[in-house]
């Protein structure tokens, strides 16, 4: 059952617990959107430049992984990490070819594993960590709170794309 309250989560500091509450709400709504999709639905491309729902789900997981790395280790991805996540991060032509033929459970497991790592990371931090400021190579200031806001923002944005694709799949004039 989805909780429609933003409240501190047990076993986390107050602000981080509220952040966890928002992350978990965001994820629960996403999972409710995809729970009944077939592999065919997950692979559907609405046009030659679009992304499949499966690709969007792996992208959501990859963005969360990247933000774990940046916020906890103060570094970018290693070469091997980048190789693993590159297609999901960049989407596009390569993703249209490579991210397909996976059952829903594949995407659910990917999202679940990344989220478990996120929760372990956040459980180890105190509220002051959220405000720690850093500087991107471009000279732009950011903090950990922004990074995790962006994880939610990205998932919500792509959930909108998933809903659009689902409407196409359900339209009575639609044949795939």
Query: What's the length of the chain?
Result: 176
Asked if residue 111 lies in contact with residue 61, where contact means CB atoms within 8 angstroms, the answer is: yes
- Helices 144-170, 53-73: axis angle to 10 degrees equals 180
Q: What gap in Å lies between CA 168 and CA 94, rounded to an integer?
A: 23
Looking at the domain assignment, is residue 175 inside a domain?
Answer: no
Which CATH number does the domain housing residue 134 bear?
1.20.120.450
CA separation for the pair 86, 63 (Å, rounded): 10
Q: pTM of the prediction?
A: 0.93
Does the residue 34 lie in any domain? Answer: yes
Q: Within a domain: residue 166?
A: yes
Residue 95 lies in a domain: yes
pLDDT of 173: 58
Task: Decide if 25 is inside a domain.
Answer: yes
* Count of structural domains within the chain: 1
Give domain status of residue 9, yes or no.
Answer: no
Domain extent, residue 96, equals: 14-170
Would you state the pLDDT for residue 3? 78
Residue 49 lies in a domain: yes
- What gap in Å lies between CA 19 and CA 13, rounded to an integer? 10
pLDDT attached to residue 171:
80
Beta bridge partners, 141, equal: 135
Kindly write down the DSSP assignment for every residue of 98-123, as one continuous string: HS-S--HHHHHHHHHHHHHHHHHHHH
Consecutive sets of 10 residues in the chain, 176 residues long: mean pLDDT of each?
Answer: 86 96 96 95 92 98 97 93 95 95 97 98 97 93 97 97 93 61
């Amino acid at each position: 059952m989805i909780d429609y309250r933003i409240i501190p989560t047990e076993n986390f500091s107050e602000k981080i617990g509220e952040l966890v509450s928002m992350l978990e709400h965001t994820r629960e709504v996403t999972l409710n959107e995809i729970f009944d999709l077939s592999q065919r639905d997950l692979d559907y491309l609405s046009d030659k430049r679009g992304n499949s729902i499966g690709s969007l789900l792996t992208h959501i997981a990859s963005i969360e992984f990247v933000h774990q790395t940046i916020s906890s280790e103060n570094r970018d991805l290693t070469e091997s990490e980048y190789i693993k996540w590159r297609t999901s991060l960049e989407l596009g032509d390569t993703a249209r070819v490579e991210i397909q033929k996976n059952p829903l459970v594949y995407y659910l497991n990917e999202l679940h594993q990344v989220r478990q790592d996120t929760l372990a990371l956040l459980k180890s931090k105190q509220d002051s960590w959220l405000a720690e400021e850093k500087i991107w190579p471009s000279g732009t200031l950011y903090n950990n709170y922004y990074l995790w806001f962006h994880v939610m923002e990205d998932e919500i944005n792509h959930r909108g794309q998933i809903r659009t694709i689902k409407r196409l799949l359900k339209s009575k004039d639609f044949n795939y």
